[in-house]
Amino acid sequence: MTIMTNAIIQGDVLEWALEDAGVDRQAVLTGLHLARRGPLDEHLTGPISVPLDVLKQLAEITHRSAYFLALPRPPEERRKSVKQDFRAPSSNDGTPRQLNPEERAAVRLANRRQEIASKLSQDLNAKPVDLARVIANNSSPERAAESAAKWLQWDRRQQYTVLKSKNKVFVALRQALESRGIMTNLVSVEGDSFRGFSLHHDYAPLIFVNASVKSPASRSFTLLHELAHLMRGTDKACDRADLQSRSSEESWCNRFAAAFLLPASDLSRYLEKNLKQTSVLAGDTYALKRISNYFKVSWYCAAIRLKELGFADNRLVDSVSGNFQDPEEQGRAPGKTRAEIRVTEYGYRFARLFGSALSEAKVSQLEARKLFRLNGAELDQLIKLGRGAD
Ligand SMILES: [Zn+2]
17 is a domain residue = yes
Q: Name the phi and psi angles at 208, rounded to 5.
A: -110, 130
| Cα 106 to ligand 1 centre (Å) | 17
| Cα 243 to ligand 1 centre (Å) | 6
81 is a domain residue = no
| Cα 50 to ligand 1 centre (Å) | 42
27 in the same domain as 138: no
210 in the same domain as 167: yes
Nearest Cα residue to 198 out of 188, 212, 184? 184
| Cα 390 to ligand 1 centre (Å) | 30
Pairing of strands 6-10, 196-199: unpaired
Note the pLDDT of residue 274. 96
| Cα 248 to ligand 1 centre (Å) | 10
271 in the same domain as 134: yes
Note the pLDDT of residue 78. 55
293 in the same domain as 353: no
48 in helix, strand or coil?
A: strand
Give the integer Cα–Cα distance in Å for 103 and 191. Answer: 9
| Cα 328 to ligand 1 centre (Å) | 24
291 in the same domain as 371: no
- How far are the Cα atoms of 71, 238, 299 from residue 302, in angstroms, in the given order? 52, 20, 5
256 in the same domain as 365: no
| Cα 185 to ligand 1 centre (Å) | 16
| Cα 307 to ligand 1 centre (Å) | 20
> What's this model's pTM, rounded to 2 decimal places?
0.84
Nearest Cα residue to 13 out of 57, 58, 51? 58
- Residue 377, domain extent: 338-388
| Cα 54 to ligand 1 centre (Å) | 38
- The Cα angle at residue 185 between residues 143 and 250, in degrees rounded to 5: 40
372 in the same domain as 223: no
List helix spans (H) across 124-165: 141-151, 156-157
Nearest Cα residue to 111 out of 192, 40, 183? 183
| Cα 75 to ligand 1 centre (Å) | 31
200 in the same domain as 346: no
| Cα 225 to ligand 1 centre (Å) | 6
207 is a domain residue = yes
| Cα 359 to ligand 1 centre (Å) | 38
Q: Name the phi and psi angles at 75, rounded to 5.
A: -60, 140
Average pLDDT of each block of 10 consecutive residues along the chain (390 residues)?
76 87 85 73 84 89 84 71 76 83 92 93 90 79 94 97 95 96 95 91 95 94 96 89 85 96 97 96 94 97 96 95 80 77 93 93 91 93 83
Note the pLDDT of residue 25. 87
122 is a domain residue = yes
357 in the same domain as 309: no
| Cα 233 to ligand 1 centre (Å) | 12
| Cα 41 to ligand 1 centre (Å) | 36
| Cα 226 to ligand 1 centre (Å) | 6
1 is a domain residue = no
| Cα 372 to ligand 1 centre (Å) | 29
Whether 94 contacts 241, CB under 8 Å = yes
Whether 372 contacts 342, CB under 8 Å = yes
Note the pLDDT of residue 332. 61
125 in the same domain as 59: no
| Cα 90 to ligand 1 centre (Å) | 9
Give the integer Cα–Cα distance in Å for 287 and 284. Answer: 6
242 in the same domain as 288: yes
| Cα 255 to ligand 1 centre (Å) | 11
Give the integer Cα–Cα distance in Å for 264 and 306. Answer: 9
| Cα 87 to ligand 1 centre (Å) | 9
193 is a domain residue = yes
Question: How many other C-beta atoms are found inside a 10 Å radius of the C-beta of residue 162?
Answer: 11
| Cα 347 to ligand 1 centre (Å) | 21
| Cα 368 to ligand 1 centre (Å) | 32
DSSP annotation of 281 reads -
Last residue in a domain, options 319, 350, 371: 319
Question: How many other C-beta atoms are found inside a 10 Å radius of the C-beta of residue 361?
Answer: 7
Last residue in a domain, options 319, 348, 375: 319
| Cα 229 to ligand 1 centre (Å) | 7
| Cα 122 to ligand 1 centre (Å) | 29
| Cα 166 to ligand 1 centre (Å) | 22
89 is a domain residue = no
Give the integer Cα–Cα distance in Å for 101 and 32. Answer: 18
| Cα 227 to ligand 1 centre (Å) | 9
Give the integer Cα–Cα distance in Å for 121 and 203. Answer: 7
300 is a domain residue = yes
Last residue in a domain, options 288, 319, 350: 319
Q: Name the phi and psi angles at 197, rounded to 5.
A: -155, 165
Q: How many domains does the chain have?
A: 3
383 in helix, strand or coil?
A: helix
211 in the same domain as 118: yes
